[in-house]
Structure 1
């Protein structure tokens, strides 16, 4: 390129710059440098173009950052997440930006975006305990609890006095069934003398979940001491007193919670309705009815008020009112859960289809390999499983562990065929389950796992632990179905909120149990609830004999067993064994259109 041509090219590039034709100017300058790499004028103009572009870009991004920050400050969190998207691409290593994104995502319950933000913060600030805690908390919300444990433990290793991380870790451990460690972590958290009242309330609730009402009382009393009008803490005290058997104090605390927060007290009314003796002119009845008339009053939990009123009018013998309230509460809950019975039909078919594949790899352990033998008490919810556990745990060599969620967590994928069965997978299930229950009850001979719906996993259980004892409790079909319908299960059992769905599920359960009993004819012990309650001594002695235990008279008086019971049968099992409960549904028979007539 001759000197004259270079000058012309430079002049043309300058003209292009003036006319705003930056792309064309850049091409000309690059062409000059291709032939004359040391041309200072071309270099200078090209650098000037790049600098100008960066200034414009920075200015544009600064404007976008200001706009995004304004959205965040005005609590427009969804809009902030949209506006900050380009900023995250341009400034991927800015911790403040990711913190704002994480907080905004949590405010809008966008847990996936929150997970992304906190993972980035863990990468950018690996020494900050708060980042690990926030990521662990989000992973719990996303039901990635096993992974959450890793990050929460890391948070506590960085800051052992981090109360929020300790309470989150206790929660995660509780979810995965590590109740012993969870309880210890929570006790340590309480010893940190936390001042955050909201977190103390959460910790108190966690103690209730862990069947530790005395520890729960300590947490809630700390809150009430600092804030006497804290309605949530009074509610928690009510639940803790209830679990500890102090009904009078439980009622007093729940009524205090209701008085402090009359428009947002559905949970307290529901807990109270299982204990209190109502009169027809009780002002709380009118209060609950008024709550249904005002949409702004605890809208998300209206179904609990319907269930509570169903219980109240059942107690008062006003059967039609009671039925209609139960009906409305169930409809609200079913609409919310969007349950479709087809999903359970598919599930039960998959369980049966998978069983021969699992049985091919059944383990054959050495005799006496297990020092603590699990007893699985299974059946439909509300079939009498709590009473059976209470009877068994009255024996000095049996520990009642309650409803553990271990089997579903460890074996569900195996049971339904989501993983290919093998001896290795069965052995892993066996080892982990036995490890989790090891030491419960100070190492007594038997540990009772009373999760009723472990009946879904009988094949996996007996293929991995053939020594295990399976006790199947069966109650009058109509009584079982009606009892399911009138109870709002924690977390929700989708089938239970519609009478037709309940009946279908009951039949699916019967069919599956018939299938299991043919597959394992000598390994499933049947307890008939009606016979047990009508002739307790005879059938309790047979049950204890099945376990090959020496007889102890305490098994005949399970109502004196002081262990904490947190199922819906909490109050019933504290009474002497009685008959007649399976007939109580008949008071509603005229409203049921014969839906139970063809049940077995």
Structure 2
């Protein structure tokens, strides 16, 4: 048995220490790709994803670019949420070697590109796969979503129909299809969904089926049936997620506690860039619409919902009470974090001079943003409280991944809304004139007037044609991907009232 076989045997027996020792000893004698890949696997199985990624990166640097190794390396960096710039660069470079990528890795690459909000690049990879490999449901579903994100709803529907023809029990195809503005969902599909619910015991599948029926009946304006199925979809999701509570409330309190006493202003090392425009607010308040309107300006690029700052800075809020703000600002590598963030964004936006980061939950970090990037613009989008809460309850988020598991319970949503309002009132008091508050209702009722004001707040020159967001061709991968292909409209104002019979008891629980 040679060294590679011994290492693989140790891994098969889950003897990670032996596998590591054998790998480490072998690499001292001979540095080669098979050994580096095995060392990466050892680290990965031990939960050391950064070290696993670094082993594959060394393989690429020492022995040349292999797109299949690069995809595995990028996935490791993405899962650990570190070295995002390298992850993006590796994914982009893979597209130059697309013919060498295996079938399974091609869909993996597309998934990574979608996670990085590089939708058009993902589309290129998936279309190559559809033309050169046998039909694959997961790849086809990714392709359908890319068509949806780029506004090609007809091709999205056609791809979903092709999936259903292959497998009528591929349930998420139904919920995606019925969410499209125009679609081919018919009575045969409805019968299939109803029959599947009767025979299905998997709550994850039931969740898709119930949500399909909710959207179907809402479109038919049968709001009684629609709410019945929406509630069933959320109950099914609770069964999948388990604990729906989050620690967001604690982080809000920590932020308020941490920023009670401000540091001496000239003691900070700040970044003077004027590039960022942060659009914040609760989910489903109009943050994507706002970002879309801003990105109509030729100098502004929508960078999507970037999690980088949240990942790097949120842990500091957990130290609140243990260290003062001044101590944290001195001891933490904040300047390096901000510079890394800007480098990360530059990989997405290219040569644009301004960008919009529309990660809604950046509101938690407004204190850090105001202190460390003082020239950044911050836009808070607010919306009718009941519309906000209901829009969160009705939206089929990837909740457990996005940290939005509380949105499948209306009481939890209201509690979260109350804490959010308390935090934003604190930021407004602490940083007066730094946060521009934009009303969703005012924006959609008078988009010309409100968008001009928004541009003034961001020091941007305004032209009337910038409100014509339906003409923009850039991809939208948020929950608003279908709505933003239409002109700005006000038809979703007071949408919750369609369900007032069921929601009025919750209304009384909202803060004034």
Same fold (TM over 0.5): yes
1:439 is displaced (CA, Å) by 6.3
Q: Describe the superposition over 1:452-473 as per-residue Cα deviations: whole angstroms up to 9, x where unpaired.
A: 0111111122222122111100
SS of the residue corresponding to residue 375 of structure 1 reads strand
| Equivalent-residue separation in structure 2 for 1:253 and 1:363 (angstroms) | 57
| Equivalent-residue separation in structure 1 for 2:177 and 2:165 (angstroms) | 13
Q: Describe the superposition over 1:352-383 as per-residue Cα deviations: whole angstroms up to 9, x where unpaired.
A: 222236x326666799x644521110000001
Q: Is residue 329 of structure 2 the alignment partner of residue 422 of structure 1?
A: yes
The equivalent of 2:370 in structure 1 is 462
The equivalent of 1:293 in structure 2 is 198
- Which one of the candidate residues 389, 392, 395 is aligned to 2:294? 392
Q: Describe the superposition over 1:129-167 as per-residue Cα deviations: whole angstroms up to 9, x where unpaired.
A: 355446657867988654444223123224434333211
SS of the residue corresponding to residue 582 of structure 1 reads coil
| Equivalent-residue separation in structure 2 for 1:308 and 1:143 (angstroms) | 37
Cα 1:363/1:387, change in 2 over 3 Å: farther
Paired residues, what number? 497
Q: Describe the superposition over 1:433-463 as per-residue Cα deviations: whole angstroms up to 9, x where unpaired.
A: 2332346534333211100011111112222
| Equivalent-residue separation in structure 1 for 2:45 and 2:194 (angstroms) | 34
Aligned ranges 1:134-533 → 2 under 5 Å: 136=40, 146-172=50-76, 174=78, 176=81, 181-190=86-95, 191-194=97-100, 196-263=102-169, 265-275=170-180, 277=182, 282-295=187-200, 300-339=204-243, 341=245, 343-356=247-260, 359-360=262-263, 370-417=272-319, 420=323, 421-425=328-332, 426-438=334-346, 440-490=348-398, 491-492=401-402, 493-533=404-444
Cα 1:430/1:224, change in 2 over 3 Å: closer
| Equivalent-residue separation in structure 2 for 1:251 and 1:360 (angstroms) | 55
For structure 2, the residue ranges without an aligned partner over 5 or more in a row are none
Q: Which has the larger radius of gyration?
A: 1
Q: Is residue 4 of structure 2 the alignment partner of residue 99 of structure 1?
A: no
Q: Is residue 475 of structure 2 the alignment partner of residue 569 of structure 1?
A: no
1:568 is displaced (CA, Å) by 0.6
| Equivalent-residue separation in structure 2 for 1:574 and 1:461 (angstroms) | 31
The equivalent of 1:8 in structure 2 is none
1:585 is displaced (CA, Å) by 1.6
The equivalent of 1:31 in structure 2 is none
The equivalent of 2:445 in structure 1 is 534
For structure 1, the residue ranges without an aligned partner over 5 or more in a row are 1-90, 106-112
Q: Is residue 497 of structure 2 the alignment partner of residue 586 of structure 1?
A: yes
Q: CA RMSD in A?
A: 3.1
| Equivalent-residue separation in structure 2 for 1:130 and 1:337 (angstroms) | 38
- Please tell me whether the aligned partners of residues 205 and 216 of structure 1 are also in contact (alpha carbons under 8 angstroms): yes
Tell me which of the two structures has the higher relative contact order, counting C-alpha pairs closer than 8 angstroms and 6 or more residues apart: 2
TM-score w.r.t. structure 2 length? 0.87
- Please tell me whether the aligned partners of residues 156 and 166 of structure 1 are also in contact (alpha carbons under 8 angstroms): yes
| Equivalent-residue separation in structure 2 for 1:299 and 1:141 (angstroms) | 29
